[in-house]
């Protein structure tokens, strides 16, 4: 008996020594790195970076794990009470390890509950990665216990419970109590009720099993268990719990991801910009910032209401124009694809279907065959849902989607450069390609003409009344411009008429006055560079008519010098960047430089007002808009691109429309020109913002006339201009035939449809709870524009 007792004691002390040794080895980092004292005092978890609009509205996030921190004071007491009652009843009594729970877990082998405390779970969330391997998990538990004790030494109970609630996963890739409250109930966490708190805390046992979106019945049962625990621990009365138990879960679900939120195309471009910023900026530890982990706060210039109106304008008009394009015979019978089958074949090979079947071991022939088998699918459609269920072959779906007209629309303040709205396409969920940014370039057509005319006024002494010849011009070895004299009238007209009616031949004449051969083109290229057009442009005389490819973003900056009274302003869309604690990392101010004189700018404004009042842009007034508006339409050869650049004294907007495949276009110049396809988007938008009094758009403000301009030229430029030459900005491709336009003439809005096929909603949605940033750091004061020197 004495021998047995001896062995028992030896076994006991050996076991105790083994446990102590394991604890020491774990603490020394033998089983994996342990957090330092500094890391414990400054714990960090992956935080989502947040994007805010100009008024503080949360636009979206960038994240790997959707997590945003919140302070203890901003968490409902019901959440705290539910958590303690359910997960760790003696949380306020132990020092990181609950000895009673540990003993129970050992003696029952875990069948009566585990021993993990809230502090240990916090340690797991912050410093260890869960492993399904039993032996590894035992070591992890040991490490978590050690870290828990250290956390208790370094933090108060309130700080620990806040750390836990900020790091715990709630399912649907949502981390932290703030994001959970916003996602499942569209509430800030301090507004959660007892029942809502019980639902969220109930999810912690198994986030997918008790997810109220996926399993509402199980979630409700689990909620009621949490309520019972709250009764048991005297946080609520039994009567309160019983009253909640009989009610359904008031789920109000909305997950903010890349496709939801405000201005998805803009946020995609902003994300790429921020990735570059992060590479060039380092944290205090010397490592570059991580957009997806470091919880940056990015404040932008986007105006939420203007963004919504811009998307509505694009949706309204592009749906109308798509209906007309679809009515063309070459679209209806598929002949538009004749000779372009290579485009479809290339699209097949980059599709998800091709990649997935290739990974599964299918041969190329088997994959190709699958593209000609009809299958159920969801495709983009111009309706209130922006989608429809249908049955078609994947090959036909490629044709269907590529035949959709695309659009780019950008709005900015021409004085400060602040971007107010950014619509990069017709539907971000389906089409990720952005048509606004610096890298997306299309032929600009006649929208280049005001820039050329600016150079002629600035450097060659032209004025709006300078006579110009509307004749084809010979540039020697560089050929004739335009290529054919079809659109030339042979008349001598003032320059203001040349711009008003968008006369190609007269514009070629103006280019030639800047230099023979390609000398004038060289001067123009240098002028465009000075306007901050960064695209490399070859100096050929044809650039006078817009043969060059330039991005909408660059055109916006170049045009800013007209309403900006000669000052070119770089588009500004980030006002400041803060770290997760609200410390300012960068603040941006307007960047302006003088390119032309204010008199030149005013001359161009006058001529572009004439475009709207009497010329190719006079359609503007059919949209019930008011005030001073200047603009320029643009149409490229064969109607592949349609543009409109327009501005008021305080707002500049640019619209591009067309198909990504340029051979898909309108057959009729009358329908495919910029005044028909692009201008109405601008007009619809301007009508909406003018009617919204909360935006403070004053249509009574006029363009300011320079004090140094002694007189204003008046010229009768309207008389004797034949209608058939209006809008002839690109090469004439004919008017088509009656059968090409079975939907009717022009772009008359479609009749009301009982199925709401044309009830187009904006892609962005303003959240019900606007989610405005509660950070006490106020935005910097609005920049004061420098006054022009006299």
What are all long-range contacts of 60-63, with beta carbons under 8 Å and residues at least 24 apart? Answer: 60/256, 60/257, 60/258, 60/260, 60/261, 60/262, 60/263, 60/264, 60/267, 61/256, 61/261, 62/271, 62/274, 62/291, 62/292, 63/292
The tokens for 728 are 């002839």
Question: How far are the Cα atoms of 202, 571, 679 from residue 314, in angstroms, in the given order?
Answer: 44, 21, 11
Q: What is the pLDDT of residue 351?
A: 92
* Residue 210 CB burial class (10 angstroms; 0-12, 13-18, ≥19): buried
Q: What is the pLDDT of residue 742?
A: 34
* Residue 642 CB burial class (10 angstroms; 0-12, 13-18, ≥19): buried
Can you give 45-111 as a three-state secondary structure string? CCECEEEECCCCCEEEEECCCEECCCCHHHCCHHHHHHHHHHHCCCCCCCCCCCHHHHHHHHHCCCC
CA nearest neighbour of 504 among 543, 462, 565, 545: 545
Please give the residue that has the higher pLDDT: either 127 or 763: 763
Q: What is the pLDDT of residue 456?
A: 98
φ/ψ of residue 691, rounded to 5: -80, -20
SS3 671: helix
Candidates 3.10.450.40, 1.10.3810.10, 3.10.20.30, 3.40.50.720; correct CATH number of 69-249?
Answer: 1.10.3810.10
Within 13 Å of residue 188, how many CA atoms lie on the same side as its CB?
Answer: 15
Please, which pLDDT band fits residue 141 given cuts at 50, 70 and 90?
low
Q: What is the pLDDT of residue 722?
A: 45
Q: What are the pLDDT digits (tens) for 748-763?
A: 333 333 444 456 888 8
Of the candidate ranges 283-297, 330-344, 737-751, the one whose mean pLDDT is the lowest: 737-751
Residue 492 has pLDDT above 60, yes or no: yes
Question: How far are the Cα atoms of 164, 223, 230, 232 from residue 242, in angstroms, in the given order?
Answer: 29, 12, 12, 13
SS3 492: strand
Q: What are the pLDDT digits (tens) for 426-441?
A: 999 999 999 999 999 9
Task: Average the pLDDT over 741-751 and give the result.
Answer: 34
Q: Which residues pair with 586 in a beta bridge?
A: 577
Q: Which residues contact 751 (CB under 8 A, 6 or more apart)?
A: none
Residue 393 has pLDDT above 90, yes or no: yes
Q: What are the pLDDT digits (tens) for 705-728?
A: 998 876 555 544 444 444 444 444
Please, which pLDDT band fits residue 743 given cuts at 50, 70 and 90?
very low
Q: What are the pLDDT digits (tens) for 681-694?
A: 999 999 999 999 99
Q: Compute the mean pLDDT over every residue in the chain, rounded to the nearest whole number.
A: 85
Q: Rounded distance, CA 529 to CA 558, Å? A: 9
Question: How far are the Cα atoms of 150, 179, 369, 478 from residue 124, in angstroms, in the given order?
Answer: 13, 20, 50, 72
Q: What is the pLDDT of residue 95?
A: 73
Q: What is the pLDDT of residue 720?
A: 44
Q: Give the global pTM.
A: 0.82
Q: Rounded distance, CA 690 to CA 541, Å? A: 40
Q: What is the pLDDT of residue 10?
A: 66
What b-and-e string marks burial along 337-350, b requiring 16 or more CB atoms within 10 Å of the CB? Answer: beeeeebbeebbee
Please, which pLDDT band fits residue 134 given cuts at 50, 70 and 90?
low
* Contact assessment for residue 177 and residue 75, using Cβ atoms and an 8 Å cutoff: yes
Residue 373 has pLDDT above 80, yes or no: yes
Please give the residue that has the higher pLDDT: either 372 or 167: 372
The tokens for 76 are 């409902």
* Contact assessment for residue 725 and residue 501, using Cβ atoms and an 8 Å cutoff: yes
Q: What is the pLDDT of residue 780?
A: 38
Q: What is the pLDDT of residue 669?
A: 85
Neighbours of 682 (CB within 10 A): 27
Q: What are the pLDDT digits (tens) for 150-193?
A: 778 888 999 999 989 998 999 888 999 999 999 999 999 999 99
* Residue 20 CB burial class (10 angstroms; 0-12, 13-18, ≥19): exposed
Please, which pLDDT band fits residue 65 given cuts at 50, 70 and 90?
confident
Neighbours of 399 (CB within 10 A): 18
Residue 55 CA to its chain's centroid (Å): 16
The tokens for 221 are 């049962």
Q: What is the pLDDT of residue 115?
A: 63
Q: Which residues contact 485 (CB under 8 A, 6 or more apart)?
A: 471, 472, 505
Residue 561 has pLDDT above 70, yes or no: yes
Of the candidate ranges 277-291, 365-379, 702-716, 765-779, the one whose mean pLDDT is the lowest: 765-779
Q: Rounded distance, CA 192 to CA 772, Å? A: 17
Q: What is the pLDDT of residue 747?
A: 34
Q: What are the pLDDT digits (tens) for 271-287?
A: 999 999 999 999 988 99
What are all long-range contacts of 607-613, with beta carbons under 8 Å and residues at least 24 apart? Answer: 607/450, 607/453, 607/464, 607/495, 607/496, 607/499, 607/500, 608/450, 608/499, 608/562, 608/632, 609/703, 610/496, 610/499, 610/500, 610/717, 611/499, 611/500, 611/502, 612/646
Task: Average the pLDDT over 512-520 and give the result.
Answer: 93
Residue 106 has pLDDT above 60, yes or no: no
* Residue 461 CB burial class (10 angstroms; 0-12, 13-18, ≥19): exposed
Q: What are the pLDDT digits (tens) for 186-212?
A: 999 999 999 999 999 999 999 899 999
CA nearest neighbour of 230 among 240, 216, 221: 240
């Amino acid at each position: 008996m004495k021998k047995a007792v001896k062995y028992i004691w030896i076994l006991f002390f050996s076991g105790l020594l083994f446990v102590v040794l394991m604890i020491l080895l774990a603490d020394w980092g033998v089983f994996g790195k342990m957090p330092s004292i500094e890391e414990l005092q400054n714990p960090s978890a992956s935080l989502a970076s947040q994007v805010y609009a100009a008024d503080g509205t949360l636009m979206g996030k960038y994240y790997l794990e959707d997590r945003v921190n919140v302070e203890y004071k901003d968490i409902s007491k019901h959440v705290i009470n539910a958590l303690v009652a359910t997960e760790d009843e003696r949380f306020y009594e132990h020092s990181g390890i609950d000895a009673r729970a540990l003993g129970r877990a050992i003696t029952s082998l875990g069948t009566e509950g585990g021993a993990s405390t809230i502090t240990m779970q916090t340690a797991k969330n912050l410093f260890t990665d869960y492993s399904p391997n039993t032996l590894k998990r035992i070591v992890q538990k040991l490490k978590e216990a050690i870290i828990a004790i250290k956390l208790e030494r370094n933090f108060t109970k309130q700080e620990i419970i806040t750390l836990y609630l900020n790091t715990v996963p709630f399912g649907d890739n949502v981390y932290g109590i703030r994001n959970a409250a916003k996602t499942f109930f569209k509430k800030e966490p301090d507004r959660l009720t007892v029942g809502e708190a019980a639902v969220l805390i109930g999810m912690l046992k198994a986030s997918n099993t008790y997810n109220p979106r996926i399993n509402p019945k199980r979630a409700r049962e689990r909620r009621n268990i949490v309520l019972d625990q709250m009764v048991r621990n005297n946080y609520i009365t039994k009567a309160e719990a019983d009253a909640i138990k009989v009610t359904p879960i008031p789920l109000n679900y909305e997950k903010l991801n890349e496709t939801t939120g405000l201005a998805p195309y803009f946020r995609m471009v902003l994300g790429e910009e921020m990735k570059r910023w992060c590479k060039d900026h380092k944290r205090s530890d010397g490592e570059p910032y991580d957009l997806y982990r470091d919880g940056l706060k990015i404040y932008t210039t986007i105006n939420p209401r203007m963004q919504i109106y811009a998307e509505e304008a694009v949706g309204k008009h592009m749906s109308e124009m798509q209906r007309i394009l679809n009515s063309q015979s070459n679209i209806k019978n598929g002949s538009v694809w004749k000779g372009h089958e290579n485009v479809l074949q290339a699209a097949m090979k980059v599709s998800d279907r091709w990649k997935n079947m290739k990974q599964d071991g299918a041969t190329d022939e088997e994959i190709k065959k699958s593209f000609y088998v009809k299958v159920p699918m969801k495709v983009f459609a111009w309706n209130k849902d922006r989608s429809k269920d249908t049955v078609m072959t994947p090959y036909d779906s490629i044709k269907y989607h590529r035949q959709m007209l695309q659009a780019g629309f950008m709005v900015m303040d021409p004085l400060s450069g602040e971007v107010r709205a950014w619509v990069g396409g017709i539907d971000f969920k389906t089409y990720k390609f952005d048509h606004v940014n610096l890298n997306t370039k299309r032929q600009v057509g006649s929208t280049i003409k005001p820039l050329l005319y600016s150079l002629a006024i600035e450097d060659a002494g032209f004025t709006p009344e300078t006579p110009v010849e509307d004749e084809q011009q010979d540039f020697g070895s560089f050929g004739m411009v335009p290529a054919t004299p079809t659109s030339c009238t042979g008349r001598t007209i003032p320059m203001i008429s040349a711009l008003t009616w968008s006369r190609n031949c007269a514009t070629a004449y103006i280019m030639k006055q800047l230099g023979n051969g390609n000398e004038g083109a060289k001067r123009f290229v240098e002028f465009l560079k000075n306007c901050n057009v960064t695209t490399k442009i070859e100096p050929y005389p044809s650039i006078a008519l817009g043969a060059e490819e330039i991005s909408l973003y660059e055109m916006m900056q170049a045009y800013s010098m007209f309403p900006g009274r000669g000052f070119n302003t770089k588009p500004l869309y980030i006002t400041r960047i803060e770290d997760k604690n609200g410390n300012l990392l960068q603040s941006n101010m307007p960047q302006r430089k003088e390119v032309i004189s204010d008199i030149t700018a005013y001359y161009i404004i006058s001529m572009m007002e004439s475009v709207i009042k009497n010329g190719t842009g006079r359609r503007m007034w059919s949209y019930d808009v008011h005030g001073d508006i200047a603009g320029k339409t643009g149409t490229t050869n064969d109607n592949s691109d349609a543009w409109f650049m327009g501005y008021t004294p305080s707002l500049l907007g640019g619209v591009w429309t067309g198909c990504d495949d340029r051979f898909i276009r309108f057959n009729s110049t009358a329908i495919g020109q910029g005044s028909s396809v692009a201008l109405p988007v601008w007009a619809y938008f301007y009508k909406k913002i003018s009617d919204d009094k909360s935006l403070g758009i004053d249509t009574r403000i006029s363009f300011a006339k320079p004090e140094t301009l002694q007189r204003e030229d008046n010229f009768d430029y309207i008389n004797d201009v034949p209608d058939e030459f209006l809008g002839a900005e690109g090469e004439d491709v004919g008017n088509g035939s009656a059968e090409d336009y079975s939907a009717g003439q022009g772009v008359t809005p479609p009749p009301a449809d009982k199925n709401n096929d044309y009830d187009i909603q904006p892609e962005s949605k303003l959240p019900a709870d606007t989610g405005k940033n509660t950070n006490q750091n106020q935005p910097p004061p609005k920049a004061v524009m420098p006054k022009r020197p006299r």
